[in-house]
């Protein structure tokens, strides 16, 4: 059965003067750049799309998805949608060609997809798409991973995330940026009762120990996109940002208004 279109609108988005200035400088310094988004219908992915479109920094933003998107907002002529099959590496390579930046927000849960399904998405699809990006000469690969990612972890979730991170960093991209959020705060399309129940104490505890337990999906996306505007001091560069670092980076930028 065909899935209904995901509606994305540029509402309730906070950019700030630092973000808009960085976007403008990036566009002047590196004109003609194109971005691709993987996992654009997820909670972080849709926020990445919003921030990319609002920035007007890229000539084209291509969203690879199995679910159609209905976007309303600025620069809609720059948004391109393409269906994707992550098992078809050769097709991925052809489709990714001509893009300079990749934003990977692919992910599912063990509860939703089972252990095998989770590993297939969060490792196989992520690594396959990264390999295709490398072959297509993508310059900067950014990925939303997870707090605690560790290939030696005893837990499937963090172990899988860590394995994917290590394999991507070993591919030889000019630049890899890894973002490791803790619990994501958002209004999900899907109803996850336990997650909703857990949200309330998490919000309370986050005020007591800020930066450790949770982060808004919009803040993760803001950090991923803003980071892409910066010029690396050296290449190749592998960098990672923790939950607290992303929150600090965003909050300090907003204070500069």
Q: Is 157 an active-site residue?
A: yes
Strand partners, 179: 144, 241
Angle at 67 between CA 178 and CA 93, to 5 degrees: 55
C-alpha 212/C-alpha 144 separation (Å) is 17
Q: Is 161 an active-site residue?
A: yes
Write the DSSP assignment of 13-69 as a string of letters: ----HHHHHHHHHHHHHSTT-EEEEESTTSHHHHHHHHHHHHHT-SSEEEEE-SS-E
Token representation of residue 125? 């699809």
In whole angstroms, how large is the CA radius of gyration of the chain?
17
Q: Which of 161, 196, 200, 203 is catalytic?
A: 161
Sign of the torsion angle spanned by Cα atoms 230, 250, 146, 61: negative
Count CB atoms within 10 A of the CB of residue 187. Answer: 7
C-alpha 48/C-alpha 42 separation (Å) is 10
Q: Which of 78, 151, 157, 249 is catalytic?
A: 157
> Which amino acids are annotated catalytic?
157, 161
């Amino acid at each position: 059965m065909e899935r209904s279109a995901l509606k994305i609108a540029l509402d309730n988005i906070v950019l700030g003067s630092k973000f808009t200035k960085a976007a403008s400088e990036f566009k002047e310094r590196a004109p003609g750049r194109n971005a691709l988004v993987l996992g654009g219908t997820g909670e972080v992915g849709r926020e990445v799309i919003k921030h990319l479109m609002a920035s007007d920094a890229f000539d084209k933003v291509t969203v690879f998805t199995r679910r159609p998107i209905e976007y309303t907002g600025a620069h809609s002529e720059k948004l391109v949608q393409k269906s994707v099959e992550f098992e078809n590496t050769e097709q991925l390579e052809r489709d990714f060609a001509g893009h300079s930046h990749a934003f990977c927000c692919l992910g599912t849960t063990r509860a939703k997809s089972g252990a095998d399904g989770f590993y297939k998405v969060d490792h196989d699809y992520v690594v396959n798409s990264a390999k295709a990006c490398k072959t297509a000469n993508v310059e900067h690969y950014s990925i939303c991973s997870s707090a605690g990612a560790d290939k030696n972890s005893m837990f499937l979730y963090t172990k899988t995330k860590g394995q994917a991170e290590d394999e991507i960093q070993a591919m030889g991209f000019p630049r890899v940026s890894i973002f490791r959020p803790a619990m994501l705060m958002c209004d999900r399309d899907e109803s996850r009762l336990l997650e909703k129940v857990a949200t309330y104490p998490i919000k309370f505890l986050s005020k007591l120990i800020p930066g450790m337990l949770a982060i808004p999906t919009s803040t993760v996306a803001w950090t991923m996109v803003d980071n892409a505007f910066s010029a690396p001091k050296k290449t190749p560069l592998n960098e990672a940002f923790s939950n607290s670092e992303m929150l600090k980076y965003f909050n300090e930028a907003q204070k500069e208004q």
